[in-house]
Amino acid sequence: MTKVHTANRLQGSMPKIAIRPVIDGRRGGIRESLEEVTMELARAVSGLLSARLRHANGLPVECVIADTCIGGVAEAAAAEEKFAREGAGVSITVTPSWCYPTETMDTDPFRPKAVWGFNGTERPGAVYLAAVLAAHNQAGLPAFGIYGRDVQDMGDTSIPDDVQEKLLRFAKAGLAAATMRGKSYLSMGSVSMGIAGCIADEPFFRRYLGMRNEYVDMSEFIRRMEREIYDPEEFVRALEWTRTHCREGEDVNPPALRRSRSQKDADWETVVKMALIARDLMVGNPALDRLGYGEEALGRNAIAAGFQGQRAWTDHYPNGDFMEAVLTSSFDWNGIREPYMLATENDTLNGVTMLFGHLLTDAAQIFADVRTYWSPDAVKRVTGYELQGSTAHGLIHLINSGPAALDGTGRMRKDGLPVMKPFWEITEEEVQACLEAVQWCPAVDFFRGGGFSTDYTTSAGMPVTMARINLVHGLGPVLQLAEGVTVELPDEVHRKLDERSNPTWPTTWFAPNLTGTGAFRDVYTVMNHWGSNHAAVSCGHIGADLITLASILRIPVAMHNVPSERLLRPSAWGAFGTEDTTGADFRACANFGPLYG
Binding-site positions for Mn(2+): 345, 369, 534
CB 382 within 8 A of CB 376: no
**Burial class of 154 by CB neighbour count within 10 A (0 to 12, 13 to 18, 19+):** middle
Dihedral-angle region of residue 140 (phi above 0 means left; psi in -120 to 50 means alpha; beta otherwise)? left
Number of Cα atoms under 13 Å in the Cβ half of residue 114? 30
Distances (CA, A) of 87 to 13, 37, 111, 231: 8, 26, 11, 34
**Burial class of 205 by CB neighbour count within 10 A (0 to 12, 13 to 18, 19+):** buried
Task: List 64's β-bridge partners, or say none.
Answer: 18
Write down the catalytic residue from 62, 332, 338, 345. Answer: 345
Distances (CA, A) of 554 to 142, 341, 530: 10, 22, 21
Residue 13 CB: number of other CB atoms within 10 A? 12
SS3 160: coil
Kindly give the pairing relationship between strand 452-455 and strand 412-414.
Answer: unpaired
Cis amide linkage into residue 311, ω under 30° from 0: yes
SS3 315: coil
6: which DSSP letter?
Answer: P
Closest by CA to 360, choosing from 88, 564, 55, 570, is: 55
| 369 is a catalytic site residue | yes
Name every residue whose Cβ is closer than 8 Å to that of residue 456 and which is 6 or more positions away in sequence: 404, 406, 408, 409, 437, 438, 439, 506, 507
Write down the catalytic residue from 62, 332, 347, 369. Answer: 369
- DSSP secondary structure string for all residues of 122-142: SS-HHHHHHHHHHHHHHHT--
- The torsion angle over the Cα atoms of residues 145, 150, 153 and 155, rounded to 10 degrees, is -40
Query: Which residues are known catalytic residues?
Result: 345, 369
